[in-house]
Amino acid sequence: MMAKLAQRLAQVLLLCLLWPAAASGHEIGTSNVRLTLHDDRTWSAEIATAPTALASKIGPQAGQPRVADLTADIVRTRLNAATQIIADYIEVRFDGAVSPVRVSVVQVEMPADNALPAFVVLRAEGPVPANAKVVTWRYGLVYSTYAVVFAEESGGSPVTQWLDSDAESKPFDIRGSRPPPSRLDIVLQYLTLGFEHIVPEGLDHILFVLGIFLLTPRLKPILVQVTAFTIAHSVTLGLTMYGVLSLPSHIVEPLISLSIAYVAIENIVTSRLTPWRPVLVFGFGLIHGMGFAGALSELRLPREEIIPALISFNVGIELAQLAVIAAAYFAVSFWVGDKYWYRARVVMPVCAAIAAAGLFWTVQRILET
């Protein structure tokens, strides 16, 4: 009876893993938004996004044929011709009333060794009604999770929300209708952002943690790996945020995906903690830390907030990882982890699915660069 139940649970987990793998994993730095209210009663939003994805979304509506080799000049020309189409996908509301939107192309960034633009920066702007209390943001040209940072030119600390694709933000309070955030408010905000960066938004990081967990149901190997991973990503999260280390996302993201595939494949090959496994997990933790830093750097923190935000964001990540391990343990391993068929009927098929997702994301992210 328990064997059949565990096998059913493993099948459900397989479906949950393979379904999102067909879409995409959590991506860092593909889009982010900085929404600012200015003292002259106007607002502006700087939208940094990947040009290829943007071109594929608006090209057909603008009657633009597909071009295999995009250059900075082509991207700039095409986006300038489609600014009204882009504006139609942006919705800024003050107290529920829609604000007019104007869009311009601010920057087309080129990598040093590639003709393909790395990202573009669009600027949207419009008026702010007198005595407005709250503002909401919605952008319909993204298909994944992205950060919206709200700030006011007159002062105060920025406020960040993570939005899923074209969802509308929760209302941002405009200064004067809210007190300035306390240090505790900042800590709680970034603690929540760190947790949400893993659960539910970081599917790739969740699968890596599950790969660590599934090596063996024994507690000691799990703790050894989690400790190595935690120390490593905490180090690079801090060093990357302070500019000591830096790797572009088109290198970090495929490596994160490859690390997911590796731990899952090794779980299939062996059921014991090998001497090299903690070392490799530590190395993978260094890479994941750069990915975490990429998400945190999107928020463009003021200098005085970096330390409390960095610490609380990292603590949020750790709490999310522990939540993933606890959920996996009490869902399956607590009940059947000591059964002789646990490895064959649970670990092997789930790790095969994790490895497939990791390899799929690796190829996908390499091709997207």
Taking the C-alpha atoms of residue 133 and residue 172, their distance in angstroms, rounded to an integer, is 9
Q: Find all residues with CB under 8 Å of 277, minimum gap 6, and list them.
A: 215, 225, 266
Please tell me whether residues 62 and 158 are part of one structural domain: yes
Residue range 132-144: average pLDDT? 89
CA-wise closest residue to 191 among 320, 324, 315, 322:
315
Please tell me whether residues 10 and 76 are part of one structural domain: no
What band does 12 get if pLDDT is binned at 50, 70 and 90? Answer: very low
DSSP codes of every residue in 270-334: -SS--THHHHHHHHHHHHHHHHHHHHHHTT---GGGHHHHHHHHHHHHHHHHHHHHHHHIIIIIH
What's the angle, vertex CA 315, arms to CA 250 and CA 181, rounded to 5? 100
Please tell me whether residues 59 and 93 are part of one structural domain: yes
Please tell me whether residues 152 and 108 are part of one structural domain: yes
Please tell me whether residues 134 and 240 are part of one structural domain: no
Instruction: Decide if pLDDT at 11 tops 50.
Output: no
Q: Is residue 63 domain-resident?
A: yes
Q: Residues 89-116: pLDDT tens digits?
A: 999 999 999 999 999 888 776 555 555 5
Other Cβ atoms closer than 10 A to 93: 17
Please tell me whether residues 227 and 345 are part of one structural domain: yes
Q: What is the pLDDT of residue 217?
A: 84
Compute the mean pLDDT over every residue in the chain, rounded to the nearest whole number: 83
- Which range scores top for mean pLDDT: 6-20, 48-62, 145-159? 145-159
Taking the C-alpha atoms of residue 91 and residue 137, their distance in angstroms, rounded to an integer, is 6
What band does 184 get if pLDDT is binned at 50, 70 and 90? Answer: confident
Please tell me whether residues 157 and 288 are part of one structural domain: no
Q: Is residue 192 domain-resident?
A: no
Q: What is the pLDDT of residue 30?
A: 61
Q: Is residue 252 domain-resident?
A: yes
- Tell me the chain's radius of gyration from C-alpha atoms: 22
Instruction: Decide if pLDDT at 54 tops 60.
Output: yes
Please tell me whether residues 11 and 55 are part of one structural domain: no
CA-wise closest residue to 288 among 163, 218, 194, 220:
194
Percent of the chain having pLDDT more than 90? 39
Q: What is the pLDDT of residue 29?
A: 45
Give the position of tokens 């700039």: 76
- Which range scores top for mean pLDDT: 11-25, 215-229, 250-264? 250-264
Q: Is residue 195 domain-resident?
A: no
Please tell me whether residues 8 and 120 are part of one structural domain: no
Q: What is the pLDDT of residue 1?
A: 47
Q: Is residue 253 domain-resident?
A: yes
Residue ranges making up the domain that contains 289 = 2-26+202-368
DSSP state of 47: E
Q: What count of Cα atoms within 13 Å lies in the side-chain half-sphere of residue 179?
A: 5
What are the two backbone dihedrals, phi and then psi, of residue 92, each rounded to the nearest 5 degrees? -115, 125
Q: Find all residues with CB under 8 Å of 37, minimum gap 6, and list them.
A: 43, 128, 135, 151, 152, 153, 154, 174, 175
Q: What is the pLDDT of residue 176?
A: 52
The residue from 179, 213, 244 where one domain ends is: 179
CA-wise closest residue to 37 among 104, 106, 99, 108:
99
Q: What is the pLDDT of residue 65?
A: 77
Please tell me whether residues 95 and 17 are part of one structural domain: no
Please tell me whether residues 10 and 55 are part of one structural domain: no
Q: What is the pLDDT of residue 178?
A: 53
Q: Is residue 172 domain-resident?
A: yes
Q: Residues 276-309: pLDDT tens digits?
A: 999 999 999 999 998 888 777 766 666 667 888 8
Q: What is the pLDDT of residue 283?
A: 95
Q: What is the pLDDT of residue 26?
A: 44
Q: Is residue 8 domain-resident?
A: yes
CA-wise closest residue to 225 among 262, 254, 269, 252:
262
Q: What is the pLDDT of residue 353?
A: 96
Q: Is residue 174 domain-resident?
A: yes
Query: Domains in the chain: how many in total?
Result: 2
Q: Residues 309-352: pLDDT tens digits?
A: 888 988 999 999 999 999 999 998 888 888 889 999 999 999 99
Please tell me whether residues 252 and 350 are part of one structural domain: yes
Read off the pTM.
Answer: 0.64
